[in-house]
Structure 1
Amino acid sequence: MIQPRSFLLVDDDIDDIIIFQETLRKVDDKIQLFYVHDGKDAIDFLSGSKGHLPSLIFLDINMPRMDGKECLRHLKNDERLKQVPVLMYTTSSQSTDIEETMMTGAMAFITKPWGINELNTLLTAIAKTPVAKLPAALQSLQKNISCFIVC
């Protein structure tokens, strides 16, 4: 049996979570969305999920308890979790954040879009693209939306 696609959003901003959730539901209501509020909760959630891991993790950087960079290091050092692609999804556009997270193993670094229409475009591309082809799709998408994307 094929598992439905699922995303894990790790973000401490409840407004961003709600907007992401509502937009994803409009884009593809078959994708399950799970969310937690910081890196520590993400590690706990993923460690507790015995068989089914999310298709993608959207990981913010600036969060309490455990930030996104530390969480990414934990994910990529765990034999079971390192296979899950991580998209850094943040307001940061600091070159040090980009370099550090990409070197640690993030698939992409995406600054959060400014508007719902751009988020819709971003999530549509992500939802419709197989994970293996996601970097190329995201790079071509950058020409159409104002968020900053590094793959």
Structure 2
Amino acid sequence: MNQKVKVLLIDDDPVVLFLHKTLLKKAGIITNVHTLNNGRDAIEFMDSCEPETAYYALLDINMPVMNGWEFLEALQGRPYSEQTSILLVSSAAEGRVVMPAVAYRQVIGYLSKPLTMENCDRIVTDLAEKA
């Protein structure tokens, strides 16, 4: 994996963050994985990194402080927005999530919570292509 690609797990549920990070480690993604509790924390983290950093984010939609939709809006126009790929990860009905998501070019797909090892295989493939 390209060391400049940072994997972001953005979710307000600590159990989900732990589970998803554990699954990613089992899939071989062991470096550059960062857990963030909401969209605002993610934007602040991304703003603090080098502008040329690429991101691959697993984004929950329903979070306090700044939800997934607000995060996607805040992302637009930032220097790193073009090198950011986002998988929406939600327990919400897929249609309710996917339809509005097509407006954001950073969104590359949707996965239901919780992740599975099959989902992690897709993530590994995506990261290999992004590297």
Q: TM-score normalised to the size of structure 2?
A: 0.83
> Higher relative contact order by CA 8 Å / sep ≥ 6: 1 or 2?
2
Provide closer, same or farther for how the CA distance between residues 25 and 52 of structure 1 changes in structure 2, counting only shifts above 3 A: farther
What is the identity, as a one-letter code, of the residue corresponding to 1:49? C
Pairs within 5 Å for 1:1-150: 3=3, 5-51=5-51, 53-93=53-93, 95-105=95-105, 106-113=107-114, 119-129=116-126, 130-131=128-129
Which runs of 5 or more structure 1 residues have no equivalent in the other structure? 133-151
Number of the residue aligned with 1:140 = none
Whichever residue aligns with residue 70 of structure 1, its letter is E
Q: Percent identity?
A: 23
Q: Partners of 1:93 and 1:131 in 2: how far apart?
A: 28
CA contact (8 A) 1:75 1:82 kept: no
Where does the alignment leave 5 or more consecutive residues of structure 2 unmatched? none
What is the RMSD computed on CA atoms of the aligned residues? 2.1
Q: Deviations over 1:61-117 (max 9, x none)?
A: 00001000110111133232232111111111253432112212311122224xxxx
Distance in 1 between residues matched to 2:24 and 2:80, nearest whole Å:
26
Paired AA for residue 123 in structure 1: C
Kindly report structure 1 stretches of 4+ aligned residues shifted beyond 6 Å: none
Larger Rg: 1
Take 1:95 and 1:125, find their aligned partners in 2: how far apart are those partners? 20
Q: Secondary structure at the match of 1:64?
A: coil
Number of residue pairs aligned between Structure 1 and Structure 2: 127
Distance in 2, matches of 1:54 and 1:119, equals 24
Residues 29 and 85 of structure 1: CA distance in aligned 2, closer, same or farther (over 3 Å): closer
CA 1:119–1:54 in structure 2 vs 1: closer, same or farther (change >3 Å)? farther
Is the 1:4–1:31 Cα contact (8 Å) retained in structure 2?
Answer: no
Shift of 1:26: 1.0
